[in-house]
Amino acid sequence: MSTATKSRVARRMQGVHGEAAFETLARANELERQGRSIIHLEIGEPDFDTPAPIVNAGIDWLRKGATHYPPSPGVVELREAIARHLSSTRNVDVDPKCVIVSPGAKMMIFTIIHSLIDPGDEVIYPVPAYPAYEAAILMAGGTPVPVTLQESREFRFDLAEVEQRITPRTKMIITNSPQNPTGGVLTIDDLKGLGDLARRNDLFIMSDEIYAEICYGQKPASMLDVPNLSDRLIFIHGFSKTYAMTGWRLGYGVVPKDIFPAVSLFINNSVSSTATFTQRAAVEAFTPQTDEVVARMVEEFQKRRDVFVDGLNSIPGIRCLRPHGAFYLFPNISALGKPSKEVADRLLNEGGVSALPGTAFGAQGEGYLRFSFANSLSNIEQAIERIRKFVHSL
Ligand SMILES: Cc1ncc(COP(=O)(O)O)c(C=O)c1O
């Protein structure tokens, strides 16, 4: 048999990129090992501890023997708690039977795309964006169709452009609000407009709202608030960001009833299920006590956001919007006249600040950097001075 046409790595892996944050973090850590002082503003995880009631419940459940396989779609008590929580915070009545748990929201994104997208199907998604959307679409053999989020629109979708991109092959629109990496937040009118497009063109909407609670000022509108969408809406959320639980690996989806069996089958055949004691512990997330801890964390994020935005805007050559949600800044550095990747690399090596180039979120991120402000106020203040000195030296 000829091996000439055989590729050792599956062809569908071609063009697939991973999350640059992990790679940049490794480089920054290596510099630290060599004795350099680095301020970490690359990785997207809260620098807070998981709220104590959740940690204590996790330990209790381990002692109580919650160490066996749980049901594939998730522990019933957690699915019910999620449904109650969403029904009380959004304009919708969520059926626990439509809730499905996964080890991280990223796995739910992968699961949904693999359960719904056939080779050749087109998926519209925002760019710059969380890289897992494009990667999952490519791995499923689908065709990614990016729609650029413009700074001039505060990084919100241009609905006319979304509409133009719809073809007979389009199967899904992905939305993410509050957004990674820009911090942009879609309005209820944006969401309703997208809902109309989905209904008129018979499309699914996958709405990733993992930063829903990390917002400044008005609470962001949710796709769950849009009426008459339950037959085509896939809602994605998780515990990583809101409850500082990135390492617990816990996310979930709410899916239309008719696709639930396929989604559950995918989980069954891939990861089997999600760790039992983490699911049990997460029930404690939906209590007034935990809400209080989250509110304090968000207050702290807001202080950091304001100091960081003002600091960056005081540096000639940098222009930065004040995001309404998430914990990222996406400053425009095009006036520096250098590619984002070069600026990010040199800022790390020469300036001691670890950030991501905007291009880590798609080519449309050229001319931007992404900073996470999940770091202390004093480190952020120090980072501003390092960035100022670095920019001056260019
Ligand atoms: C927009 C977005 N969605 C989903 C995730 C995945 O979160 P996790 O898999 O930790 O639940 C992230 C993490 O950075 C994200 O930024």
pLDDT at site 15: 85
Specify whether 182 is located in the same domain as 158: yes
Is pLDDT of 50 > 80? yes
Last residue of a domain, one of 271, 286, 301: 286
Is pLDDT of 386 > 90? yes
Is pLDDT of 272 > 80? yes
pLDDT at site 75: 98
Is pLDDT of 2 > 60? no
What residue has token string 């002082």? 37
Q: 274: left (phi > 0), else alpha (psi -120 to 50), else beta?
A: beta
Last residue of a domain, one of 243, 269, 286: 286
Cα 95 to ligand 1 centre (Å): 24
Least confident interval from 14-23, 168-177, 213-222: 14-23
DSSP 10-75: -GGGTT----HHHHHHHHHHHHHHTT---EE--S-S-SSPPPHHHHHHHHHHHHTT--SPPPTT--
In the chain, the number of structural domains is 2
What residue has token string 């180039």? 357
Structure-block tokens of residue 17: 């990129």
Specify whether 166 is located in the same domain as 270: yes
Cα 19 to ligand 1 centre (Å): 11
Read off the pLDDT band of 120 (50, 70, 90): very high
Share of the chain above pLDDT 90, in %: 92
Q: Say yes or no: CB of residue 128 within 6 Å of ligand 1.
A: no
d(CA 298, CA 142): 37
Specify whether 202 is located in the same domain as 277: yes
Read off the pLDDT band of 20 (50, 70, 90): confident
pLDDT at site 4: 59
Answer yes or no: is 240 within a domain. Answer: yes
Q: Say yes or no: CB of residue 106 within 6 Å of ligand 1.
A: yes
DSSP-based three-state secondary structure for 99: strand
pLDDT at site 355: 97
What residue has token string 């030296």? 393
Answer yes or no: is 124 within a domain. Answer: yes
For 216, half-sphere exposure in the C-beta direction (CA atoms, 13 angstrom radius) is: 17
Quote the domain boundaries for residue 322. Answer: 11-49+289-393
Cα 106 to ligand 1 centre (Å): 6
d(CA 42, CA 344): 10
Q: Say yes or no: CB of residue 372 within 6 Å of ligand 1.
A: no
Specify whether 223 is located in the same domain as 167: yes
pLDDT (tens digit, 9 = 90+) per residue, 180-193? 999 999 999 999 99
The per-residue pLDDT of the chain, averaged, comes to: 96
Cα 342 to ligand 1 centre (Å): 26
Answer yes or no: is 1 within a domain. Answer: no
CATH number of the domain enclosing 27: 3.90.1150.10
> Could you tell me the CA-to-CA distances from 369 to 38, 150, 177, 255, 393 in Å, in that order?
17, 15, 19, 34, 18
pLDDT at site 117: 98
Average pLDDT over residues 254-278: 98
Read off the pLDDT band of 107 (50, 70, 90): very high
Cα 134 to ligand 1 centre (Å): 14
Read off the pLDDT band of 101 (50, 70, 90): very high
- Whether omega for the bond prior to residue 51 falls within 30 degrees of 0, making it cis, is no
Q: Say yes or no: CB of residue 83 within 6 Å of ligand 1.
A: no
Last residue of a domain, one of 286, 319, 351: 286
Cα 319 to ligand 1 centre (Å): 26
Is pLDDT of 1 > 60? no
CATH number of the domain enclosing 278: 3.40.640.10
Q: Say yes or no: CB of residue 130 within 6 Å of ligand 1.
A: yes
Contact between 374 and 46 (Cβ < 8 Å): yes
Which residues 6+ apart lie within 8 Å of 55 measured at CB? 49, 281
| From 42, 214, 215, 240, mutation site for ligand 1 pocket: most ligand atoms within 8 A of C-beta | 240
Answer yes or no: is 337 within a domain. Answer: yes
Average pLDDT over residues 179-208: 98
Specify whether 31 is located in the same domain as 91: no
Q: 362: left (phi > 0), else alpha (psi -120 to 50), else beta?
A: left
pLDDT (tens digit, 9 = 90+) per residue, 313-359? 999 999 999 999 999 999 999 999 999 999 999 999 999 999 999 99
